[in-house]
Amino acid sequence: WSMPILKAAVTRAMQRSKLIWALGRAAQKQPLGQWSAVRAFADDSADLKKTALYDYHVANGGKMVPFAGWSMPIQYKDSIMDSTLHCRQHASIFDVSHMCGLTLKGKDAIAFFETLVVGDIAGLKDGTGSLSVITNEAGGIIDDTVVTKVASDELYVVVNAGCREKDLAHIGKHLAAYQAQGGQVSLEVHDDRGLLALQGPAAAEVLQAMTTEDLTKLTFSSFKRFSAGGIPLWVTRTGYTGEDGFEISVPNTHAVALAEKLMSNNRVRLCGLGPRDSLRLEAGLCLYGNDLDESISPIEAGLAWTVGKRRREKFDFLGGEVIRKQLAEGVTRRRVGFFSAGAPARQHTEIQNLEGKVVGEITSGAFSPCLKKNIAMGYVLKGQDKAGTKLKLVVRGKLNDAEIVKMPFVPTHYYKG
């Protein structure tokens, strides 16, 4: 090899080694019991699952890494910064087929699932959904999930890939007990389907060109089954970027064809896990295993709005009495957002007040491609959680200035009609 080629190869190898080291370090720093992060980063590559789009990712320059038991693209040929900006300005496709989609059916499907989540699922209109959380007996968050009320006897639920096994075990245990008491509800896991997210201001225009369905009538959190490009789809107008967009459930056998049809529009690019994390953080959205876990309640996480008004009458879900007390008496810590100076703060960064007392910890942090400044979120003690509060972040042994700010960091553009 010539020296320039050899040097480039060595540089690429070092970059890959640094990435794997960083992912491994992230797993090592996680407290025991935080399933998602451990599963996300500590997988044996020989055992990694592949989505129906794996070969498509590789052929298009996807840099594949272990994530939640799957081999997933962290980025493509463009940089994470450029890819983030492209999604904000145009449209991007994310393969999120590693997430677990499932359906609950039967006349008691809603009543059953409301024993496990905090949301007012019965109060949703048919064909609409909402973010909710699955709680444990202590009011902690087992997982965050999007729950769609397809009909009065059918729910479509998507849970995080890193929580799949514990979620299915948890749901299955309570389902068996519910069925034993005569409850009429069944569970189906959609391992035969992939999930693509089309996100960005041009997303609706791109998908509309492929279907006769009037997408102006499909507002944020709405769900509908229809065909696009001759492919049968389950479409929810939602996403994890803060932009307008769709999460599209597609049979695995048609996943590549759908991606190719979407990519035929020159405003669309493939987007990996790296930009997806930047986008969700800019939008102030939580990542399970970082910002949420079983020791954190929805009230502490700033997700009190997910506890439906009707559900506050009885609090008849797991951990309900704990959450009732927290709503009445308050909590000792809260999730907040930060701007900071110096190097970006990462997960587990210590937060101090101006007197040097530890008052919290960062759970997610990065340099914002859109704002061109450091952003982060984390938990601080009550009394330190007001916007404008000045604090210090301990990054690489240095005390960096930080200020609490309201989230989202970047304005959201959800389509409300």
Res 12 pLDDT > 90: no
Res 9 pLDDT > 60: no
Sheet holding 141-151, edge to edge: 128-135, 141-151, 154-159, 100-105, 186-189
As a whole number, mean pLDDT of residues 278-297 equals 98
d(CA 147, CA 152): 13
Summarize pLDDT for 318-368 with one digit per residue, the tens: 999 999 999 999 999 999 999 999 999 999 999 999 999 999 999 999 999
As a whole number, mean pLDDT of residues 48-55 equals 98
**Residue 44 pLDDT class (50, 70, 90 cuts):** low
Mark residue 245 as left, alpha or beta (left: phi above 0; alpha: psi -120 to 50; beta: remaining).
left
As a whole number of Å, the end-to-end CA separation of the chain is 58
d(CA 201, CA 235): 17
d(CA 201, CA 184): 42
Share of the chain above pLDDT 70, in %: 89
- For every residue of 321-376, DSSP letters joined together read HHHHHHHHH--SEEEEEEEE-SSPP-TT-EEE-TTS-EEEEEEEEEEETTTTEEEE
pLDDT at 45: 62
- Between 13 and 58, the more confident residue is 58
d(CA 101, CA 167): 11
Query: Phi and psi dihedrals of 41, rounded to 5?
Result: -120, -15
Summarize pLDDT for 195-247 with one digit per residue, the tens: 999 999 999 999 999 999 999 999 999 999 999 999 999 999 999 999 999 99
As a whole number, mean pLDDT of residues 116-144 equals 98
CB 392 within 8 A of CB 351: yes
